[in-house]
A and B are shown apart, each in its own frame.
Chain A
Amino acid sequence: MPYARHSDADRAHMLATIGVDSLEELFADIPEAVRAGGLDLPEPEAEQPRATRLEWLAGRNRTDLMSFLGAGAYRHYIPVVVDEIIRRGEFLTAYTPYQPEVSQGTLQAIWEYQSLIAQLTGLDVVSASHYDGSTATAEAALMAIRQTKRERVLISRAVHPHFRKTTETYFSGRFILDEIPMTPAGSTDLEAMERMLADGNVAGVAVAQPNFFGALEDMATAAELAHAAGALFIAAVEPTSLAVLSSPAEYGADIAAGEGQPLGIPLQYGGPYLGILAATEKLMRQIPGRLIGRTKDVDGKRAYVMTIRAREQDIRREKAASNICTNQSLCALAATVYLSAIGPTGLHNVATSGAEKARELERALAEVGAPRTHSAPYLNEFAIRVPEAQRVHETLIERGVLAGVPLANFYEEPELAESLLICATEVTTSEEIAGFASALKEMLA
């Protein structure tokens, strides 16, 4: 055992102090009927051969390919300082800050995270984070239901399919989730939305900005329509886009939810990621999860503490709004360090650089016969029309290109069948774009 601490002499002394003859006595209360006979696992593996094993496994992943994959998780440059800080044992191996006197590091860092997300979204109350964008959106929908006491939520079909499906699972048949259809331009059909709001029984409306196809939505009108029907407006947002796009507060959102992975968190094949959840002050007591507040200690010194805790599961138990216990604290810390390191100009550059590269990509691919599928404005992600999209996608892998993801993997609509969803970010190079275009050109010739 690599981390064991006791010698045989230690164990003997401890058993004697406890007053038993053998370790077996401490397990004697496990009934025969349910007792297991050991573990059929390999022998322990020392660090050196284990390192070889892990390197071999990592080597089997093809991360050398030119990637244009987005669809909810994005390649970004992560400044070196982020890892310097999140590797520190004092952050990495700290526990939930239930004893605030010895947890001011975590508490202040998360309060700073809450503040940064409040600045980005314009909304005052930010939870100390949720598991990911999907679960944050599901919880936002449940918040709307609790607040309005209505049972139906509308969600645009253009919201990320994972967000929609997770919300449906969370509703668990207790509430109704209806999809708002899309327009051919690639955005949410607001006329259809207005009709669906007419029964006056809608608790909340959720629209993504940008949406799954990278297209930009008319969030202000959508929010107005929702409010006119007495529903809350939920914006599913991508955080780096908030450097240049309207903030949820600017267009009247009540709740913002989203995936925080672009803020300094590596791809890691899907997680751990960062669920962003923010709301207006009015909804403060409806927001699930932890909230960190600033206060003073008994000597009048500034200090931070978990607050409004009475809503949480350990106190409220079966009456708790959500069962959430952990947050994604270290991921929120990564986001805080990321934003501190790149600053407002850096975040602006991430957005404009990505947009610039995306337009270069669009032009290059249109030139070889793969134009954009949709016509709505976009920031840095979009779908392209490619005949036999699935086959082209597979063949391009062999040519060293990850040409995004076939839309047919997510949508059944025939008009989306021959499309690939691709993106560019600040790390996409002109060489990569040229490589993609030339490989595609060969295939389409």
Chain B
Amino acid sequence: MSNIPADLRYSEEHEWLRLEGDIGTIGVTAHAAERMGDVVFVELPEPGTRVSMGETFGVLESPKAMADLYSPATGEVVESNAALEEHPEFVSEDPYGAGWMVKVKLDSAGEVGKLKDAAGYAALIAED
């Protein structure tokens, strides 16, 4: 049974978002990380890049697959997790902690209401 922290919001493309003020921290869920296998590389946008909800903002790579990352929010990237360059495995090992990917200054914090809560995400992946 996948780990789904209650305090986060979730997108259908298996991203999570933690809102603090108007800054959203974004990563991929444990479910997504498990399905990818060993993450070997993460391609993330530079700070200053604009991202939009539902649009791709980066790529995850494992030895056998590549997966696009879809942004769960609209806004401007203020920080990308530099540690993932040396330690892409953080995504596999600690997807909600050390494996965080980007921090985005949201255009509108209210947009987060469109994302699922933990129960809603659990229901989504139960169908998988």
**A contact patch SS:** helix
Does A53 belong to the interface (CB within 8 Å)? no
Stretch at the interface among B13-21, B58-66, B70-78: B58-66
Does B121 belong to the interface (CB within 8 Å)? no
A316 to B67, CA, bound (A): 9
- Distance (Å) between the CB of A30 and the closest chain B CB? 36
A285-306: contact bitstring with B at CB < 8 Å (1 yes, 0 no)? 1000000000000000000000
A316 to B62, CA, bound (A): 12
Task: State whether A309 touches B41 (Cβ < 8 A).
Answer: no
Partner of A316, one of B40, B41, B43, B66: B66
- Interface size range on A against B: under 10
- Distance (Å) between the CB of B92 and the closest chain A CB? 15
Task: State whether B65 touches A315 (Cβ < 8 A).
Answer: yes
Partner of B63, one of A285, A309, A316, A319: A309
Partner of B64, one of A285, A315, A319: A315
> Using Cβ atoms and an 8 Å threshold, which residues of chain A touch B63?
307, 309-310
- Distance (Å) between the CB of B67 and the closest chain A CB? 9
> Using Cβ atoms and an 8 Å threshold, which residues of chain B touch A164?
none
B60's closest neighbor in chain A, by CB? A310
A310's closest neighbor in chain B, by CB? B66
A31 to B2, CA, bound (A): 52
> Using Cβ atoms and an 8 Å threshold, which residues of chain B touch A374?
none
> Using Cβ atoms and an 8 Å threshold, which residues of chain B touch A316?
66
Residues 73-110 of B contacting A (Cβ, < 8 Å): none
> Using Cβ atoms and an 8 Å threshold, which residues of chain B touch A309?
63-64
Does A385 belong to the interface (CB within 8 Å)? no
> Using Cβ atoms and an 8 Å threshold, which residues of chain A touch B62?
310
- Distance (Å) between the CB of A299 and the closest chain B CB? 19
- Distance (Å) between the CB of B50 and the closest chain A CB? 15
Q: Which 3 A-B pairs have the closest CB atoms?
A: A310-B66, A310-B61, A316-B66
Q: A-side interface residues toward B, CB under 8 Å?
A: 285, 307-311, 315-316, 319
20 residue pairs from A and B, CB less than 8 Å apart: A285-B41, A285-B43, A307-B63, A308-B40, A308-B41, A308-B61, A309-B63, A309-B64, A310-B61, A310-B62, A310-B63, A310-B64, A310-B65, A310-B66, A311-B66, A315-B64, A315-B65, A315-B66, A316-B66, A319-B66
Taking A309-B63, A310-B62 as known contacts, 8 extra A-B pairs with beta carbons closer than 8 A to each other, sorted by chain A number, are A307-B63, A308-B40, A310-B64, A310-B66, A315-B64, A315-B66, A316-B66, A319-B66
